[in-house]
A = this chain, B = another copy of it.
Amino acid sequence: MRVRLSELAATSGASIPTIKFYLREGLLPPGRTVSARQAEYDESHVERLRLVRALIDVGGLSVAAVKEVLAATQVGVDEAVGTAHAALPPGVPGPGPFARASRVVRDLGWAVDESSAAMGRLEQALAAVESVGLPLDDELLGAYASAALAVARYDVGSAAQDRAQGAVDAVTYVVLGTVLYEPVLLALRRLAQSHVYGERFSRGPGTAS
């Protein structure tokens, strides 16, 4: 596949000005120059475009964050998780120590870097919940942590499997999986709430589907 900019736009669904912007920002590698005013693009550009659009539209990432996430896919798997987490929204509060979050992960027995961006986000999220007077006890944290751990075990298990099979690059899987599976989890949680609400506070046959 060798296409011009206009065909790349038609294939990908992104507009020509958007593609030019991504090229200028380095989110998309340059095409192969075929004349002074023309370049050719290939399948790798279509794939990269899909990825960039997914990160921006579904992941809610800024252009700067997309750059960092793409850069994170270039490092080794050891660093990929931390780097990806640091690059992802929402913005992280200043450096630790994150006292409340540290207490939580220690109670859970999780071995994690306590100065990481994810710790900062947990600290901020806990503070926000408390500040508006919502419940935040050990039972609630335990329920959430169990669910998070179950999902993480699945995530990491699949990544390991994929790596073994060479089907998908493991680093790419971890980095993109973090951002792109989050909306799936949140959407499912909201739907599960509706479902459980329906079970508990039955609204009668009028609303049955």
Chain B residue nearest to A177 in the complex (CB): B134
Return the contact of A194 from the options B81, B132, B201 (Cβ within 8 A). Answer: B81
Could you say which residues of chain B place their CB within 8 Å of the CB of A101?
187
Digit string of A173-192 for contact with B (CB within 8 Å is 1, else 0)? 11011101111111111111
Binds B, one of A2-10, A14-22, A29-37, A147-155: A147-155
Verify B189–A77 contact, CB threshold 8 A. Answer: no
A interface residues (Cβ-Cβ under 8 A, vs B)? 47, 50-51, 53-54, 57-60, 77-78, 81-82, 85, 89-90, 101, 105, 110-114, 116, 118-119, 121-122, 124-126, 128-129, 131-135, 140-141, 143-156, 158, 160, 162, 168, 173-174, 176-178, 180-201, 203, 209
